[in-house]
Amino acid sequence: MNLTGRNIIGFETFSEGTVAIQAINPASGETMPPLYYKATNDELQYAVEKGLKAFQIYRKKSGNEKAAFLEDIANEIDNLGDLLIERYMSESGLPQGRAIGERGRTTSQLRLFAQLLRDGSWVNARIDTALPERQPAPRPDLRSIEKPLGVVGIFGASNFPLAFSVAGGDTTSALAAGCCVIFKAHPAHLGTSELVGKAIQKAAAATNMPDGVFSLLFDDAHDIGTALVQHPEIKAIGFTGSFKGGKALFDLAMSRKEPIPVYAEMGSVNPVFVLPDIAQEKSSEIAQQYLGSVVLGVGQFCTNPGMLVIQKNDNFIKTLEHLSTEVQGGTMLTSGICDNYIKGIEKSKQFATIIGIGKKSSTLNSAEPIIFKTTALELVENPELGEEIFGPTSLVVEADSKEEIIAFAKSLDGHLTATVHGTEKDLKEYEELITILEQKVGRILLNGFPTGVEVSHAMVHGGPFPATTDARSTSVGTMAITRFTRPICYQNFPDELLPDELKSSNPLNIWRLVDGNWKK
Amino acid sequence: MNLTGRNIIGFETFSEGTVAIQAINPASGETMPPLYYKATNDELQYAVEKGLKAFQIYRKKSGNEKAAFLEDIANEIDNLGDLLIERYMSESGLPQGRAIGERGRTTSQLRLFAQLLRDGSWVNARIDTALPERQPAPRPDLRSIEKPLGVVGIFGASNFPLAFSVAGGDTTSALAAGCCVIFKAHPAHLGTSELVGKAIQKAAAATNMPDGVFSLLFDDAHDIGTALVQHPEIKAIGFTGSFKGGKALFDLAMSRKEPIPVYAEMGSVNPVFVLPDIAQEKSSEIAQQYLGSVVLGVGQFCTNPGMLVIQKNDNFIKTLEHLSTEVQGGTMLTSGICDNYIKGIEKSKQFATIIGIGKKSSTLNSAEPIIFKTTALELVENPELGEEIFGPTSLVVEADSKEEIIAFAKSLDGHLTATVHGTEKDLKEYEELITILEQKVGRILLNGFPTGVEVSHAMVHGGPFPATTDARSTSVGTMAITRFTRPICYQNFPDELLPDELKSSNPLNIWRLVDGNWKK
């Protein structure tokens, strides 16, 4: 497959724009062909019009039909083979192992949602049968089900060019829900985006999906994204990225004539608490795993542990001093991200002590891992120290007492995750800490590190503001599907006019809440 | 029980304010004792502080404990006996049958949510068991569950002094979810609010709920409501009322530093489509039921059928002309609501023809039912005709053709409900109409009228903007509970630290999604 640089609009491609954009290899600084052209407003409008038409067909596709589509996307991504892996690596600066791993995550995510659709029970079908004899008033027959919202806008994230991008979690859950997707590619991985966009286009045609079920638009900056959020026919937004970016999209969406849901996952500091007893017992093991988690993917994970809180422990600090010089940095995703990392580090240097500095690679835009330390009291004085720095850095916060740790936990904002390391004894003593933390995050972990975000049924990758703009949902895992649906109730419908999921004979054999009881 | 006029803050009562408010009987214009005093900002702050403390206890109450609380509220409401019914009638102008019916709706709503809590499966418990041997990476043990948001603010609605007020659907679902509630009473039914507030206070004490789980504040206008929405510790808002009111609260909440969910149900026109074949067959039956639905509760239902669309049918219009003079109006809830009704009617008179005028009662603030007609073409010219007029009026829209009906349906905004009357033949011919309408509403009905809103598991009382500010939920029925929760995921927690709902032995015997399969 040749890269063309053209916007994908349903089954067609276009390139009407005049503003050229080019992919840059962050490790070498070299630009890569082809030229992409920023989408025009006409192209966006055409994508929306096609999406609206397609939605009237796509929303009626069965679970099995949508499953076949998602599975075919996964197959087409696999079929891209080394072409995709190589483009991914040169656009992101990330190594081959990561590229292959992320491709696997992306395709198995598509296949997991396909399974969910074939199973069919996700629709939350509810039936309250008619009670015509009921006094004082009869009850009508009521049946409700989750239905797709319409055409939605999704934004590619810089840090996962596959798993949180064109065929990533947001697209997959929106398509699974029955929504049509207009995707705004991230300019940091244009070629990777086009390759995956073509895979979706091909799969849509092969599985008889309507023209317009998916479109992919390119942009160098914010114009097309802004127009997408403001388009009156767009019904929801998915985004993963910075607080600044996500909050701006949220504000735009809320000031529309018709406000729409915005699922912006805006990252967080993901505090890790290491309790006293385990800090004695497993000091060097925890230190090692912590550093591994900090530098994973050059620290460019939303769940990167940006802060570790520990009761004053010289031994642990010494171990970190020793180990942190050995950890390896690497090329960051873009020169802009690397510049911001350096700025963040410079700022932290003014307030915090350096524990250790890791190794840089010899490539361009290479980030040096760096571990800082401060005290809980100093952090209260300089709260900017607690802000996320996107990259392979973390701040160790030393506390003088349990009371200080508890008070600090209480002062936390919303985060995606919080982690506690503790022995049985620690956890008993710090029960209150867990109670506090679970009210601050979407996921709370014991004795692990937050950088692994499983794609499964129970995963919550979300959390209270400012970690996201909607804590009631997750952007990873099968629960993500209901971000793109709303319930509709059918009253006194004859069987033949009901969706299959609600027909009396339960032809799809799904779980349903019938008169208050779950039944199959 | 004597009315005191005091704000209820947890187990205490206060009356620190200086702005007096008094209940007015809308039928007689007489004021009723006692004097209520607008809550002060200090009182609000105290209620929030108590709520925050109470939340740390209340969020851990078991389903059975919360169920006992809700059931006791229902019992205490029943115990108020005639005192409540009489105060309700004199404050609302509504008749005894309605008062008793609405009390029954309110208490059975509380009891239904108690049942839901005793059953326990509503929490959407999900378990993905650990796969330590999985390649390339092991899967941790992941368990998630819906947990309450915190202290929430609920606003009383004018039109249901019991069922959408102090112990109404919003309060009930928020308390069931495990949230603490600060309730802003509607000034149109101060005494009814105090009586029910005291019932909740009494039930909370009797069932060992924490001081501050519920507070009730009075206000003559918008100050306390505004402060409530803007309070940084408030985590969600429930509201039923006008578009203007709901949208203002929504905008306030979105412009907070931390935006919070706003569930504002803002009413709608609830179009009813009468198809050609059934219009021949059952003209007079439909006309009669339609008029009954229009004047029910003096037309003060959110689901009042404000519009009926029909293919030109002189016979139906004649029947309406005849029947509409016989229908009975009555006292509206407040003089302000009655004034607005009269203004709306005057405006409609400029654009539409009158089919018939019903009877007024001899009381003050009595509304005259009035049925207008226009054509689909005229409605396109004068879209203000299609706006909701709160009260016993409705607009018959005559269309010239099926195409005109379909085009009109496509032009509709979001509504709570849409209704289609049709024979089997009609419904076959107008299948497209149903497809269009289900995308515009929260509930679609066949051959009925929308004014009955069942409190059950499958009910959706919601719908796309501008009917509500959040189409992903319902304000009536058991699904309303998840408006006040968010999912939390526990990773690698030992059984003893997990909520009972997630413990491996399933001690509560609830339905759970275990490795993708629903199990008990």
What is the tens place of the pLDDT at every residue in A104-125?
999 999 999 999 999 999 999 9
Query: How far is B269 from B417, CA to CA, in rounded Å?
Result: 8
Q: Is the pLDDT of residue A67 over 90?
A: yes
A136, pLDDT greater than 90 = no
B265 is a catalytic site residue: yes
B302 is annotated as an active-site residue: yes
Give the gap in angstroms from C-alpha A109 to the nearest C-alpha of chain B: 14
Residue A420: pLDDT band with limits 50, 70, 90: very high
- Rounded to 5°, the CA angle B138-A167-A169 comes to 50
Q: Does A311 touch chain B (CB under 8 A)?
A: no
Among residues A71, A102, A194, A265, which one is catalytic?
A265
- Give the bridge partners for B356, in sequence order: B371
Cross-chain residue pair A259–B487, CB shorter than 8 Å? no
What is the C-alpha separation between B517 and A121, in angstroms, rounded? 10
Determine contact, residues A313/A278, Cβ cutoff 8 Å: no
Return the exposure string of A471-509: e unless at least 16 CB atoms fall within 10 Å of the residue's CB, then b.
bbbbbbbbbbbbbbbbbbbbbebeeebbbbbbbeebebe
pLDDT reported for residue A267: 82
- How far off is chain A from B55, nearest CA to CA, in Å? 11
Q: Is pLDDT at A518 greater than 90 in this prediction?
A: yes
What are the angstrom distances between the C-alpha of B401 and each of B248, B271, B373, B376, B415? 39, 17, 17, 10, 23
**Pairing of the two strands B180-184 and B214-217:** parallel
Flag if A479 and B458 touch (Cβ within 8 Å): no
Structure tokens at B404: 């005109």
Q: In angstroms, how far apart are the furthest CA atoms of chain B?
A: 80
A137–chain B Cβ distance below 8 A for any pair: yes
Contact A489 B254 (CB under 8 A): no
Whole-number pLDDT of residue B204: 98
Give the total residue count for chain B: 520
**What is the least distance, in Å, from the CA of B453 to any CA of chain A?**
10
Put simply, the chain A residues between 435 and 454 with a CB less than 8 A from any chain B CB are 435, 438-439, 441-448, 452, 454
- Taking only the tens of pLDDT, chain B with its 520 residues reads 789 999 999 999 999 999 999 999 999 999 999 999 999 999 999 999 999 999 999 999 999 999 999 999 999 999 999 999 999 999 999 999 999 999 999 999 999 999 999 999 999 999 999 999 998 889 999 999 999 999 999 999 999 999 999 999 999 999 999 999 999 999 999 999 999 999 999 999 999 999 999 999 999 999 999 999 999 999 999 999 999 999 999 999 999 999 999 999 998 999 999 999 999 999 999 999 999 999 999 999 999 999 999 999 999 999 999 999 999 999 999 999 999 999 999 999 999 999 999 998 899 999 999 999 999 999 988 888 999 999 999 999 999 999 999 999 999 999 999 999 999 999 999 999 999 999 999 999 999 999 999 999 999 999 999 999 999 999 999 999 999 999 999 999 999 999 999 999 999 999 999 999 999 9
- Give the 3-state secondary structure percentages of chain A, helix then strand then coil, rounded to 5: 40, 20, 35
In this predicted structure, what is the pLDDT of residue B2? 86
B499 touches chain A (CB under 8 A): no
Q: Which residues of A touch B126 (CB under 8 A)?
A: 457-458, 479
Q: What is the pLDDT of residue A177?
A: 98
Nearest chain A residue to B252, by CA: A254
- For residues A41-60, one letter each, b for 16 or more C-beta atoms within 10 angstroms of the residue's C-beta and e for the rest, the string is eebbebbbebbebbbeebbe
A308 close to A421: Cβ distance less than 8 angstroms: no
What pTM value is reported for the model? 0.98
pLDDT in tens, A306-341: 999 999 999 999 999 999 999 999 999 999 999 999
Residues of A in contact with B275 (CB under 8 A): none
Residue-wise pLDDT for A469-501, tens only, equals 999 999 999 999 999 999 999 999 999 999 999
| Complex ipTM value | 0.98
pLDDT(A1) > 80: no
Q: Average pLDDT for residues A134-145, to the nearest whole number?
A: 94
User: What is the rounded average pLDDT of the residues A452-456?
Assistant: 95
Give the pLDDT band of residue A381 (cuts 50, 70, 90).
Answer: confident
Interchain CB distance below 8 Å, A142 and B479: no
Report how many Cβ contacts below 8 Å link chain A to chain B. 200
